[in-house]
Structure 1
Amino acid sequence: KLSTFLPVRIASLLGTAKQDDDLKEDGADDEQMEEEDCEGAGHDRAEGPTAARKADRLAREKRGLALLEEGFDSLIIATRTVDPISVLQAVFPKLRPSGSVVVYASHMEPIIDSYRWLMDHSCVNVRLSDQMFRIHQVLPDRTHPLMAQHVVGGQLVSGIKVIPSEPSGA
């Protein structure tokens, strides 16, 4: 059983992410080592935890990509700049029947496109929802939104994948 959240970068799903092996071929590691030698030993202590976190993240991502190949039960896509349709096209075939799909975007256009795509690709219970979070200050005889806040919003589309029915005339 999977008990850990394994985030996978969209660039990795679409095959546009550079892997560590690619960086070594480009000579980026050589340049980084030269810079570290010039900066002294104090900088090496900060690189240890950063390198360990990066290695852990890449290992979890590699495990997540391997699990994607086996199939999965739910898919959550949150994007600001990448078209969610390209991600759906890449991973939706691996989503098991009765699997849930959720797409978040801060703009409405990619959500509408995702809604249409899900409706055309064997999804039921496809729903659009608008999300907004605002804190309200409640005092005796006066209630109003907190004025010094960043209002976060966006839209969601969600659906459930089903097995397409066979034509009845066959």
Structure 2
Amino acid sequence: MKTLRQKLSLALLLAASSLTCLAQAQEFKMGFVNTERIFREADTAKQAQVKLEQEFARREKELVEAGNTLKQASEKFEREAPTLAESQRTARQKQLIDQDREFQRKRREFQEDLNARKNEEQQIVVERANRAVKQVAESEKYDVIFQEAVYVNPKHDITAKVIKALNASVAK
């Protein structure tokens, strides 16, 4: 009789713990944030892009003009090369090589500067987005928020809420 009671008590305990686990699983709330979408749609990301474009527009224009000038000089050299004396041809060829080397250096520096500034601006957007994610998670009582996943059911995607919170914090 005692073993039957023990077995029955154990069975009831297991059933109760199973129900508790099931109830806890139903209370678990998770969400997903698409960071690429935040970088495309959030006002802070758009403002950062405009800021970078304005900051680097002049240098980019100068590079394009320098590239066009170099291309024209190269084409002119190609047309005139057969009629030039050997010494003139060699001198102009060396001059074009030096100009191209200088152009490539300026283009590389431009790209490095642009990438560094882009990383700085993206870091600011990421920090603000993380604060917005935390705000949404705390206000709506999420247990976990993921930023990367192989598959996400759209019902768990809270990106729109985060973008809305992020845009609202910028507007303040």
Give the TM-score band, short-chain normalised: under 0.3
Q: What is the TM-score when the length of structure 1 is the normalising length? A: 0.27
Determine which structure has greater relative contact order: mean sequence separation of CA pairs < 8 Å that are 6+ residues apart, divided by chain length: 2
Higher strand residue share? 1
Higher helix share: 2
Tell me which structure has the larger Cα radius of gyration. 2
TM-score of the pair, normalised by structure 2? 0.27
